[in-house]
């Protein structure tokens, strides 16, 4: 179904026509470029929602700029909500223009995946994805439909950017997409994948929490000992392939970290938002480790203000959301159904991507704890990629988001098809915390700088 959002596209079409007839570049106010959205039924009873914004660069047509798909984490975090309004989209959650929106340098495709996330929904509870393979095959159905309906994007360089669990999904999706493009089943110009603070090797994250927090004066000797002990138990469970047990121990490890750090923020160790009493009390009363994990890792992506925006003015604007489907309404089930997948590593998938010649970027925020940079470096060292020794021998280069300032914003190392960005002063949500350098990084990755 081709969807023409009546409210916003019609006047813009007129503007575009006017622009074309006079040969002028159409100057659209930020946040009012051409947008389209729709559902794709990716399996029986599984409906996935996507939202596309055409790039709004004052000097360049969208066809001269890349297409970036953004994948949120959780699983159960909404790209169309969180990634769009809290990180990289044209408007923030107050509907004010975002100065550092990626839309000035790329068209943006937000997809609510796995099914059940955001405005996506399932009609039967047996339909939720339970593993990475299903997440990837569902997304391939969506992309096949997207690129056949929007042929103008078939030749435009297409990149997948991601955050957190979205990084694990992005790796799995990228590999399947690469194969589909090779086989000719999907027509698109797939050009690379970027894994942001990504859950590629969960156990390497958990193992580095102790040393990282200790070096940042957030654990004492005893605390380090306690955190390391429970981390070793997680490692043991993962090594035995006991992934559900590993998930339970992961939650225990987080509790031990919280007790010993006076409740450090897992998403940015230097900021500590005021505790919300409702979350705290429900945390105390629930016995289920999965529910506690959900509350810690998905609820903040669906915070009340964003939920009110998405279930209020945004759903009204979109006009196609079923009446009984609420944004975020199935997020809890999305998360719980992936229980057996959480702690599985995806390092071998990254190896396959590198081997296949796909451009892979890893980027990580310095102040992130849940997926700290030390843990990312640990799994990168485990890659079997033949070029890794050469990558390791390189020295990193500093990056400055403001060319007139001497303040270092990031470091980067890049060899053949692997690049690693160390983003300073950012936590887990890199574009939210450091919008300027995040935008610059996106331009570097997509070969615009
Ligand atoms: C922008 O690119 C599209 C696709 O190539 C093309 O159809 C359209 O005419 C271009 N618009 C302008 C204003 O150049
Ligand atoms: C599927 O779920 C949507 C959203 O809850 C609902 O609007 C729709 O009627 C359901 N369809 C069927 C066939 O049950
Ligand atoms: C992919 O994009 C690049 C850069 O714009 C272009 O040179 C190349 O021809 C495109 N490839 C395909 C298959 O469209
Ligand atoms: C892939 O990365 C290499 C090395 O940085 C770069 O030269 C090349 O242009 C990249 N390709 C794409 C499609 O981004």
**Are 37 and 49 spatial neighbours (Cβ–Cβ below 8 Å)?**
yes
- Strands (E) across 199-269 are located at none
d(CA 186, CA 162): 21
d(CA 372, CA 267): 9
pLDDT in tens, 175-212: 999 999 999 999 999 999 999 999 999 999 999 999 99
Mean pLDDT within 264-292: 70
Residue 190: phi and psi, rounded to 5, are -65, 120
Task: Judge whether residue 277 has pLDDT over 70.
Answer: no
Place of tokens 């970290």: 257
- Output the residue whose Cα is nearest ligand 4's atom 10: 359
- Residue 104 is given by DSSP the state G
User: What percentage of the chain exceeds 90 in pLDDT?
Assistant: 84
Task: Judge whether residue 220 has pLDDT over 80.
Answer: yes
Domains and CATH numbers, the chain: 6-201+344-445 (3.40.50.1820), 203-297 (no CATH)
A 10 A CB-CB count for 383 gives 18
Q: Is 157 in the pocket of ligand 3 (CB under 6 A)?
A: yes
d(CA 118, CA 63): 28
Given the DSSP bridges, would you call strands 157-163 and 67-71 parallel, antiparallel or unpaired? parallel
Mean pLDDT within 429-446: 98
Chain mean position to CA 274: 25
pLDDT of residue 403: 86
Place of tokens 């007790």: 259
The pTM of the whole model exceeds 0.85: yes
Residue 327: phi and psi, rounded to 5, are -60, 125
Given the DSSP bridges, would you call strands 35-43 and 397-399 parallel, antiparallel or unpaired? unpaired
Give residue ranges with CB within 6 A of ligand 4.
157, 191-192, 359, 414, 417, 447
Place of tokens 């009446």: 323
Report CA(168)–ligand 4 centroid distance (Å).
Answer: 21
| Contact residues for 322 (Cβ-Cβ < 8 A; gap 6+) | 121
Of 444, 385, 438, 437, give the one whose Cα is nearest residue 416.
385
Q: Which value, to the nearest 10 degrees, does the dihedral of the CA atoms of residues 362, 367, 369, 374 take?
A: 50
Beta bridge partners of residue 423, listed in sequence order: 365, 410
Chain mean position to CA 147: 21
Place of tokens 């107050």: 94
Place of tokens 């998930």: 247
- Output the residue whose Cα is nearest ligand 1's atom 5: 63
Helices (H), 272-429: 277-285, 289-297, 304-309, 315-318, 331-337, 347-355, 373-381, 388-393
**Are 191 and 158 spatial neighbours (Cβ–Cβ below 8 Å)?**
yes
pLDDT of residue 16: 37
Give the angle 301-347-191 at the CA atoms, nearest 5°.
75
Least confident of 18-27, 154-163, 192-201, 393-402: 18-27
- Residue 97 is given by DSSP the state B
Residue 354: phi and psi, rounded to 5, are -65, -45
Give the angle 39-173-82 at the CA atoms, nearest 5°.
55
Given the DSSP bridges, would you call strands 397-399 and 157-163 parallel, antiparallel or unpaired? unpaired
- The tokens describing 87, both together, are 């990180």
pLDDT of residue 276: 53
**Are 406 and 70 spatial neighbours (Cβ–Cβ below 8 Å)?**
no
Pocket test of ligand 2: the residue of 42, 48, 121 to mutate, having most ligand atoms within 8 Å of its CB, is 121
- Residue 25 is given by DSSP the state P
Atom of ligand 1 nearest to the CA of 16: 13
Q: pLDDT class for 286, splitting at 50, 70, 90?
A: low
Mean pLDDT within 227-251: 96
End-to-end Cα separation, the chain, in angstroms: 37
Beta bridge partners of residue 47, listed in sequence order: 41, 121
Pocket test of ligand 4: the residue of 359, 387, 413, 419 to mutate, having most ligand atoms within 8 Å of its CB, is 359
Of 302, 279, 291, 267, give the one whose Cα is nearest residue 117.
302
Q: pLDDT class for 17, splitting at 50, 70, 90?
A: very low
d(CA 93, CA 88): 11
Average pLDDT of the chain is 90
- Output the residue whose Cα is nearest ligand 4's atom 2: 417
Place of tokens 């980027």: 363
Active-site residues: which are they? 164, 368, 428
Residue 381: phi and psi, rounded to 5, are -65, -20
d(CA 77, CA 117): 6
Q: Is the pLDDT higher at 11 or at 165? A: 165
Report CA(308)–ligand 1 centroid distance (Å).
Answer: 36
Of 200, 117, 196, 162, give the one whose Cα is nearest residue 428.
196
Q: pLDDT class for 298, splitting at 50, 70, 90?
A: confident
Of 251, 245, 51, give the one whose Cα is nearest residue 150.
51
């Amino acid at each position: 179904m081709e969807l023409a959002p009546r409210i916003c596209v019609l006047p813009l079409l007129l503007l575009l026509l006017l622009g074309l007839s006079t040969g002028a570049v159409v100057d659209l106010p930020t946040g009012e470029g051409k947008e389209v959205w729709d559902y794709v039924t990716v399996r029986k009873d599984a409906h996935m929602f996507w939202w596309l914004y055409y790039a709004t660069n004052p000097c360049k047509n969208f066809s001269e700029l890349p297409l970036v798909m953004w994948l949120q984490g959780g699983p159960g975090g909404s790209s169309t909500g969180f990634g769009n309004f809290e990180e990289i989209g044209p408007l923030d959650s107050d509907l004010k223009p975002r100065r550092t929106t990626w839309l000035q340098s790329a068209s943006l495709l937000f997809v609510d995946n796995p099914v059940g996330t955001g405005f996506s929904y399932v009609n039967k509870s047996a339909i939720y994805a339970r593993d990475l393979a299903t997440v990837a095959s569902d997304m391939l159905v969506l992309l096949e439909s997207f690129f056949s309906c929007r042929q103008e994007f078939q030749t435009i360089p297409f990149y997948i950017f991601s955050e957190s669990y979205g990084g694990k999904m992005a790796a799995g999706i990228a590999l399947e997409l690469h194969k589909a493009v090779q086989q000719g089943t999907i027509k698109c110009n797939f050009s690379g994948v970027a894994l942001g603070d990504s859950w590629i090797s969960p156990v390497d994250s958990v193992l580095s929490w102790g040393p990282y927090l200790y070096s940042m004066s957030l654990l004492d000797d005893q605390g380090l000992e306690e955190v390391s002990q429970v981390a070793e138990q997680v490692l043991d469970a993962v090594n035995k392939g006991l992934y559900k047990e590993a998930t339970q121990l992961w939650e225990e490890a987080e509790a031990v970290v919280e007790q010993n750090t006076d409740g450090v923020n897992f998403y940015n160790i230097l900021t500590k938002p005021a505790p919300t009493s409702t979350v705290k009390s429900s945390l105390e009363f629930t016995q289920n480790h999965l529910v506690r994990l959900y509350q810690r890792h998905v609820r903040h992506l669906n915070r009340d203000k964003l939920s009110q925006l998405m279930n209020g003015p945004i759903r009204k604007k979109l006009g196609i959301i079923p009446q009984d489907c609420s944004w975020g309404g199935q997020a809890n089930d999305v998360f719980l159904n992936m229980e057996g997948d959480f702690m599985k590593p995806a390092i071998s998938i990254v190896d396959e991507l590198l081997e296949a010649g796909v451009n892979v970027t890893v980027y990580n925020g310095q102040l992130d704890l849940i997926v700290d940079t030390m843990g990312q470096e640990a799994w990168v060292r485990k890659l079997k990629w033949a070029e890794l020794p050469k990558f390791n021998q390189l020295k990193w280069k500093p990056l400055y988001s403001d060319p007139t300032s001497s303040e270092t914003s990031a470091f980067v190392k890049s060899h053949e098809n692997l690049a690693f960005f160390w983003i300073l002063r950012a936590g887990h949500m890199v574009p939210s915390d450091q919008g300027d350098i995040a935008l610059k990084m996106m331009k570097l990755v997509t070969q615009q700088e």
